[in-house]
Every structure is written in C-alpha cells, then in structure tokens.
Structure 1
Amino acid sequence: MIKKLLSTVTAVTALTFAALPAQADGLKDLERFLREVGSAQAGFTQVVTSPVRNGETVARRKTSSGRFEFLRPNRFRFEYTKPFEQTIVADGETLWLYDVDLNQVTARKQQDVLGSTPAALIAAGTDMKALTEVFDLKAAPAADGLEWLEARPRNKDGQLQSVRVGFRAGQLAALEIADSLGQRSVLTFNQWQDNAPLKAERFRFQPPAGADVIRP
C-alpha cells in the first residue's frame, strides 16, 4: 500500500513539474534580446543617487526623464526632456552630447568611450560571446517582478563598477548602474516597443548653428 502511494505521489509530482514553464533567468533573456530585438524605442525615467558625504545626512537624488531609441549595431539616442533638455546620440562612429542650455556639443570617438558601458549591453551587436569578452555576466535572483542579470566590466580601470539588467516577460525593463565613486543610477523603461521601424538616419546628429563644438 505504501509503495503504491509513493508511486502515485512521484508520478503526480513529475507531471506537475513537467507542466510548469521553464524558469526564465536574466542571462537567457539577454541572449534572446540580443538575438531577436534589432531596434526599440521607449520612454524612460532615471534616478541618480549620490553617496552620502561628509556633513550630509541624506543622499542626493536627481530625477530626469525622456525618450530612448536604439538600432543595432551601436546606434542609440537618449533625449532628456525633464528637468533639462539634453541629447545623447551614438551614430556608430561618434558619440554626440548636446546641452541645450549651454548650446554646446561634445563629440567623442564612439569606440573610445563605449566599450564597457551599459549602452554596449543594450545596443551592441548580436554576439553574446563578444559581450562576455568585455563583461563578466551572471544571472541574479529574480526580484520586483523582474528577471535580473549582473554585468561587471573585465577591465577594472574605468569608473563603471557594475550593471544590473532587469527583464519583464523577456522585455527590457530596468538598468541599475553603480560606479566606482559610489553613485547609483536607475533607469526604468515604459511603453517599450521591440523592433520599432527605425532607420540609421534617425541617429545622425548635426550640431545646431552657433553651437560650440568640443572634440576632446
């Protein structure tokens, strides 16, 4: 009787687990994201928290928002609209930063500044192996309804310490960025649209007339 009961329990348990969907994790979501999502657009909110320093009782927080777009390989666009207007554009060769209030444009060679940055995780090519040569990647525990992965640059010389990438149902939902100075930046995305109909022309940037252009 006992053997029959154990056999029944075992069979029911096996059937139950067979019926469950495969557990997702951040690494698998990233692989799918690189493979299947060639472009996207979304709104974003960014909260930057500075570390508590001498004489301060609470950490300083700054909140901004705007729109984000990317097109593989290596093209992206951040348009900050609140509280100040600022545009960051990567056209595949040059990274442009336009400060509207200062009417100033800073232009840098993209390959010199984007190697191990959060942008490289999102908008680089589709080669997961190439990404693992730049970042140490590992799945992190699920939290806040998201599947997470953690990325740490293999090159320890830069300011970036780590990036946590959060996916909801396979869709990019959040980035948590920590730097070596103790600053933490959290970007959350909304109205995300995979494979948006974007063209390379969208990521070309022409400095406005009269703007100061700085090329460090």
Structure 2
Amino acid sequence: MNRLDRARRQVVMGLLCAGLCMAMPALADGLDALTQFMKQARSGRAQFSQSVTSPSKAGQPPRVKTSSGSFEFQRPGKFRFDYRKPFVQTLVADGQTLWLHDVDLNQVTARKQAQVLGSTPAALLTAASDLESLKTDFVFKTEPDRDGLQWVSATPKAAEGQIRTVMVGLRATDKGPELAVMDVQDSLGQRSVLTFTAFELNPVLAAQAFVFRAPPGVDVIRP
C-alpha cells in the first residue's frame, strides 16, 4: 500500500468513526441513559439469562440457580417472561393481574398487579412513562461506568419492601440506550442478575402476548 492509498484509507476510517460518533449521541451518565431509555422504549423484546445467588448459610458456599428464556414488555403495565430452562414457567402482567403459571406444579397463581408491582424492578420497565413518575417510589443515583455499560442504581423509598436496591446497566447503540443488565438485591440478601441479549426496541407486539388464560385442569390460586 503506497502513501496515497494509506492517506485515503485514513480519511475513510476517519469519516466512518465520525459518522459512528454522530449516530451514537453521547450520554452524560447512567441516569441520563435511563432517562432517554424511558422516553424512547414504548415496548421491547429480548432473550434473557438469570442467575439467582442465595446468601451462604452455616459456612456453606452460596447457592446459584440459573435460568433463561424470553422477555417482552409494553407500556403501560404489561410484560411477559417465558422461562424455558431449567423449568417451564410463564409470568404475565396484563395491566390488572400478575399471572404465574408453573407447568411442573400444574398451578397458576394470580395476584392484583397494583399490589405487587409498586416498588419492584418490573416497575422500572413497564409501569411509568418517564423517570420522573418513578421518583415517587425510587431514589435514583448514577453509578460508575463498567463492563462497557452505563449504570444507575434505584433504591425503593419504602423501607419495608422486599427489594433493597436495583442496579440497571444500559448499553449505548445507534438507536439509543439499550437495556443490558438488571442486578437486584433483596432484603434477605439474595441477588438476582438478569442479562438481556438480542434486545429489540419498540417492536410491534401481538396483543395476545399479554393475555393469559389458565389451561384446563390447572389449579388457580388467588392469595
């Protein structure tokens, strides 16, 4: 490659880098990224993997359970988790009721959504149209960037709740911030980490995705 070709290549690479920087607007911090995500994301779809780590007891090492599946949400107040491994479970919020179908137990649990989702991680994704409305229930704080993500912590204001804190990691893309990780610490010392891949922003989702009907013969429990 001669000097002229190298110079041309440097110009082309420079233009490509400049175009990429223009396509991916800089976000000041994790709170800025979460604010933009909340404004942009009317719906979403992704694959997820989840690890749940229980605190160690009597000198035993902590236990870690893993699972995976697919996730969809649509504002306001609708989401669906389809767990495929290691057990088949479905969790559906239809805007009024939160349904949990455990196939192995042949059982469905139905709870009023408003009573169980107020200060939970799901509220960060589905309940509110913007970040300001969530500040009634959560205190938000920007955390240092790491692992190529921007981070923000959300701490419930209700001290008696089950959730101690939620860490949200967002990835910058040419379409805006993308949900990558939710790291949840509960009041019993258990840690649950949800990692999202193949995230789709604002897909058109079928209305039936958020409609749940208990299969025939399944016990339905309403606590």
TM-score (norm 2): 0.85
1:123 Cα deviation from its structure 2 partner: 1.1
Following superposition of structure 1 onto structure 2, how do residues 9-158 of structure 1 map, counting pairs within 5 Å?
22-56=26-60, 58-158=61-161
1:29 Cα deviation from its structure 2 partner: 1.2
Q: Is the 8 A contact 1:71 1:200 kept in 2?
A: no
Number of matched pairs: 197
SS at match of 1:191: strand
Taking the aligned partners of 2:98 and 2:207, their CA distance within structure 1 comes to: 14
Aligned AA (2:84) = T
Q: Render the CA deviation track for 1:102-124: whole Å, top value 9, x for unaligned.
A: 11000000000000000000112
Residue 182 (str. 1) matches residue 185 (str. 2): no
Aligned AA (1:51) = P
Aligned AA (1:180) = S
Structure 1: runs of 5 or more not aligned: 1-18
Structure 2: runs of 5 or more not aligned: 1-20
1:80 Cα deviation from its structure 2 partner: 0.3
SS at match of 2:125: helix
Taking the aligned partners of 1:99 and 1:43, their CA distance within structure 2 comes to: 20
* Greater alpha carbon shift after TM alignment, 23-32 vs 133-142: 23-32
Q: Is the 8 A contact 1:42 1:193 kept in 2?
A: yes
Taking the aligned partners of 1:40 and 1:117, their CA distance within structure 2 comes to: 18
Q: Is the 8 A contact 1:24 1:147 kept in 2?
A: no
Q: 1:211: which partner in 2?
A: 218
Q: Report the aligned-residue RMSD.
A: 1.4
Residue 171 (str. 1) matches residue 178 (str. 2): yes
Aligned AA (1:191) = A
Aligned AA (1:187) = L
SS at match of 1:133: coil
* Structure 1 stretches of at least 4 aligned residues deviating more than 6 Å after TM superposition: none
1:127 Cα deviation from its structure 2 partner: 2.8
1:22 Cα deviation from its structure 2 partner: 4.2
